[in-house]
Amino acid sequence: MKKKSSFLKLKLREAAMISRGFLSQRHPVLAHVIPMRRCNLACAYCNEYDNYSKPVPFAEMQRRLDKLADLGTAIITISGGEPMMHPQIFEIVAHIRRRGMIAGLITNGFYLTPEKIRRFNAAGLEYLQISIDNVEPDEVSKKSLRLLDKRLQWLAEHADFQVNINSVIGGGIKQPEDAITVGRRALELGFSATVGVIHDGQGELKPLAEREQRVYREFKQMSRQEYARLDWFQENLAQGRPNNWSCRAGARYLYICEDGLVHYCSQQRGTPGVPLADYTQADLDREYKTEKWCAPYCTVACAQKTALLDDPRNLIRLYGDSLRQWVKDKSGGQPLPVVAPAPAPTHVAPVKSHDVVKPDAVPQVLSAE
């Protein structure tokens, strides 16, 4: 009962965020903040970690979060590296909530215990995501269902916050069918489940092979609620087709690295590369209009979702499905009408800038961001 109450409160806060985002385009919707680059794992496809960095001091984290709140940011997602290696991770979450922002966390899950889950409850964490790449660990990834299942059970038993389990296809993952097993287990435990497309070992996004596409289609049928939100983005990526949209990274979506610099996303680190402390409304306005070369094949779901907030046709699809599911649960499981998805944009005319980003990398994971 407490978890359902927390879910409703979160969805109401998200609805308020969507309304505010629709009324004004001059503030960030979501910021990813890195309190620690170090990670306890070394997944072969990941380029977002090291094995030596020290945690950002808590006082500095407070200053960065205060700055984001002053800019009008609605949601903060803490990631890494592995953010649970930060010695004051619970205090960081609590400070996000004190400043009135929605608090989320992306973790590999290995540091979770019943006590730490309860501490996250007390701090006010509102959603958590774990990426599980396979059923059995291998040289590509140790984030396996076998090693993490006990921690998933602890989350189901103790967490008051929402939990999403993300799997990946592509990028050297040997058994794409494992995503189905992971997704079914997530749904069985009462979590949401997503699957993402990642690039290969050379940093290139390639169309999914037929075997991977079968898994992708089956996963979509299994977890319709999540995939209705970004269906046309995912379909094009799975087929290796570009998407026609205007990325608002640097304005609606910010990535704040451990050095306190603002970047477009985890895969475009270095641009714009402005210290958060010096980031102003002028920076937000400029980056809102800047064309990003990488947008057509972008796999960063958070950048896509925040950009869709500025397209009224997709507002209902973006967050309406989870609210519909809650109403369905309250009504005893009676089916409700489904809103037809908005079509993909057929024309986008972004305002070009002198500082359009030059190609140097292809964005990485769809649902982990």
% of the chain at pLDDT higher than 70: 74
The per-residue pLDDT for 172 is: 67
The per-residue pLDDT for 313 is: 53
Give per-residue pLDDT as tens, 260-312. Answer: 999 999 888 999 999 999 999 999 999 999 999 988 888 888 898 888 888 75
All structural domains of the chain, each given as residue ranges with its CATH number in brackets, are 2-330 (3.20.20.70)
Give phi and psi for 343, each to the nearest 5. -70, 160
CA–CA separation, 58 and 260 (whole Å):
13
Give the HSE-up count for residue 290: Cα atoms under 13 Å, Cβ half-sphere.
21
Quote the tokens at residue 82: 């592995």
| Range of lowest pLDDT (1-5, 73-77, 273-277, 355-359) | 355-359
Give per-residue pLDDT as tens, 327-341. Answer: 655 565 555 454 444
Kindly tell me the sign of the dihedral angle through the C-alpha atoms of 255, 322, 177, 304.
negative
Give every CB contact of residue 261 below 8 A, 6+ residues apart in sequence.
273, 274, 275, 276
175 close to 134: Cβ distance less than 8 angstroms: yes
More confident residue, 167 or 251: 251
165 close to 192: Cβ distance less than 8 angstroms: yes
Cα–Cα distances in angstroms (integers) from residue 298 to residues 28, 261, 274, 305, 342, in the given order: 19, 21, 22, 12, 19
Q: What is this structure's pTM?
A: 0.80
Average pLDDT, the chain: 81
CA–CA separation, 235 and 218 (whole Å):
13
Give the HSE-up count for residue 284: Cα atoms under 13 Å, Cβ half-sphere.
22
The per-residue pLDDT for 48 is: 85
